[in-house]
Structure 1
Amino acid sequence: MTVTRRLLLSAAGAALIVMPVMTEAQNLPRNIRMVIGSSSTGGDTYQNASILADALSEHLGVNVRVDPVGASEAFKALARDSRGTTIMMHHDQSYLQELYGVEGSPDIFEEFTVGPTISVNPGNAYLVPADSPYQTIEDVLAAAEAGERVRVAIQPGGVSEIGFTAMRNAARMSAPGSEDNIVPVNTGDQADKNQAMWDDLADVINGSIQANEQFTQLPENDPTAMRFVWITATPETLNQAPEAGLGETDRAEMLSFAAPEVSVPMTEEEDFTFDKEFFLMFNIETDPALVEAIDTAMGEIYAEGEIQQRFLDAFFTPQYRPMAEAQEHLRAKNDDYETIISELKSE
């Protein structure tokens, strides 16, 4: 066989290898609507979606437009469109709502195709007023055990509530019955939770490093001043954050509010941690080739390395998992949290 013929056959073989991905990318809709489970254009969901949408648009040569319609409308839009012109990006609230029994919430693992993970917001946190008698989350649990009523402001059915559930679970493990003294103050978005604290309607609030760090830097006599008592992210995730942290709070200080420095037991052997992860979802009837094209494109984008810096600059931790790995990982999280939630519900 001549050298020329070998080269031609080699080139043909290479073309056959890359052709499926090229074909899938070419068959993608020219315009893709990325609905997100938030109606805000200033929150972390929109920020993450925008970073990914820009990268996908450039890499695939299509127009990916972020549409902040809120969780309920996003799931409806995704369910209506099997052509691949609508995809969805959201976070753990997608499955937590169903676990908490929020009316109308889908089982995402049965009704949709769960896609790759994108990033983590390492900033999920719980705070108290600066002049609170509770210096630590352990003080909160001790107060409940002593019979004090501790009010926690959360947005029901999502990432706000899972940490609240973990507090109640830890209280029950330490002193059965004391979990009844940790009570929810059901609110809306972050501004509502902050206001509940300032109006003395809540002793503890769910917040985030991004939204609340500024209030932790105020003088203690400022009526809006707050203190962190717990950051739920895993130390592995926080250690990937920039060393300078955010605002005036560096990474080392953030780690002092997270496990293992702060212990909120989930079992006798393991502390509760929670990484708020963002991921894609697709209509379950969408052509698998189109889904694979987006999954493959994301792998290539993350391999290039530029998107990671964009996430880090916005204080998010880039964390791409291919679709199959992401499905296994998110199902495992779902199952772990279902155990805690169902046990507390059964009381």
Structure 2
Amino acid sequence: MKFTRRTLLAAASAAALLAAPLAAEAQNLPRNMRMVIGSTSTGGDTYQNSAIVAEALSEKLGINIKVDAVGATEAFKAVGRDKRGTTIMMFHDQSFLGNLYGVSGYDDPFANYAVGPTVAINPGNAYLVPADSPYQTMDDIFAAAESGTRVRVAIQPGGVSEIGFTAMKNAAKLRAPGSEENIVAVNTGSQSDKNQAMWDDLADVINGSIQANEQFTQLDPSDQKAMRFVWITARPETLEQAPEAGMGNTTRDDLLSYASPKTHVPLNESEDFTFDKEFFFLFNKDMDPAIIDAIDAALTEVFDEGKIQERQKESFFIPDFLPTAEAREHLTKKRDTYRKVIDDISAGS
């Protein structure tokens, strides 16, 4: 096909018209935007995921977005006092789980903020035992609790770390009412604290992650620090989107063997408990809706182009874009599901 000057000009004009709505929406945005995150770590998954999204948005919208790791309490405060839209937030399910568990500093994000689009899942939430543990499976753990043995689980209370622990108690209760009392929490802090609790024989099971703990599953079983996965909470549909090579020396098929349905932790009589750690935006509830519309439109284009998905998967994130309206509906249902699990266990305590 021969391209004339007129053809090229027509194509350029068409492209400009298509880009015009996004360019118009971008005019409503501040030139400099601060993306606060609910973590103080610049090496963790929240920062890593937020940096990928911030870079893509900055390029698409032609603005500067700086990721600022201030922690959950400070991030909520910063967004809550900025109606102009110069401050936005990126966090994950901890934002509503912290509220459900009554953690100080966690207001109801659905009532006090505007929940925005989802962007990614970290499928790595996991539970592990020492390599020499007598517990080979979750069934072994539930059987031990049923027989009267106390099973100590190291968690960081009040969120992503605790929801799987609550699910364990719920599953034990479904299997043998009363046995949930033998699934007991060892409240710690960071991942290193949970690991240390295992190594010091203060915990029989720990909450961990594929990313942080896979290395310890590759140690010789005689090593004091050696661990084994027993449960990965992600939905199988999520894990199936991970790279076939998996993480480290643990393949995707290996990881799937620790997830539902091969590893059975019931939510109720008909379905297993699963949990995907999803990252999403939070905005000031009084912010100009046009700013949210501009971010939605930009992210739609970014994900349609496909490059961001490659970057996310390189970092073992699963692409998970839902525009604001769909994200709010999805996350509200998810919050309600986990609230029922938490309330049921609390009522039985």
TM-score by length of 2: 0.94
Would the alpha carbon gap of residues 92 and 12 (structure 1) be closer, same or farther in structure 2, given more than 3 Å must change? same
Aligned-residue offset at 1:21: 3.4
Secondary structure of the residue that 2:27 maps to in structure 1? Answer: helix
What secondary structure does 1:151 align onto?
A: strand
Report the equivalent of 1:108: 109
Question: Corresponding residue for 1:310?
Answer: 311
Matches within 5 A, 1:142-291: 142-291=143-292
2:24 is the counterpart of 1:23 = yes
CA distance in 1, matches of 2:163, 2:112: 23
Displacement of 1:24 in angstroms is: 1.9
Secondary structure at the counterpart of residue 83 of structure 2: coil
Please list the CA deviations of residues 53-96 of structure 1 after superposition, one character each: whole Å capped at 9, or x if unmatched: 11011111111100001111100011010111000000000000
Code of the residue aligned with 2:297 in structure 1: it is T
Deviation at 1:26, TM superposition (A): 1.7
CA distance in 2, matches of 1:215, 1:225: 5
Instruction: Give distance in 2, aligned partners of 1:55 and 1:90.
Output: 17
> Is contact 2:36–2:70 with CA below 8 Å preserved after alignment?
yes
Give 1:23 deviation, angstroms.
2.0
The residue number in structure 2 matching 1:328 is 329
Residue aligning to 1:301 = 302
- Structure 1 pair 248–199 and aligned structure 2 pair: CA distance change class (3 A): same
Partners of 1:292 and 1:101 lie apart in 2 by 32
**Alpha-carbon distance between aligned partners in 2 of 1:210 and 1:181, rounded to the nearest angstrom:** 29
2:23·2:61 contact (CA, 8 Å) conserved in 1?
A: no
2:4 corresponding residue in structure 1:
none
User: Does residue 92 in structure 1 map to residue 99 in structure 2?
Assistant: no
**Count of matched residue positions in the alignment of Structure 1 and Structure 2:** 337
Q: Are 2:265 and 2:273, in contact at CA under 8 Å, matched by a contact in 1?
A: yes
**Distance in 2 separating the partners of 1:77 and 1:145:** 47
Q: Normalization by structure 1: what TM-score?
A: 0.95
Residue 35 of structure 1: aligned partner? 36
- 8 A contact 2:219–2:226 mirrored in 1: yes
1:27-106 equivalence runs, <5 A: 27-106=28-107
**Pairwise CA distance, 1:18:** 6.2
Name the Cα RMSD after superposition.
Answer: 1.6
Question: How many Å apart are 1:13 and its aligned residue?
Answer: 11
**How far does residue 280 in structure 1 lie from its aligned partner after superposition?**
0.5
Following the alignment from structure 2 to structure 1, what is the Cα–Cα distance between the partners of residues 316 and 48?
A: 10
Q: What is the identity percentage for the equivalent residue pairs of Structure 1 and Structure 2?
A: 67
Listed as ranges, the gaps of 5+ residues in structure 2 are 1-11
Match of 2:134 in 1: 133
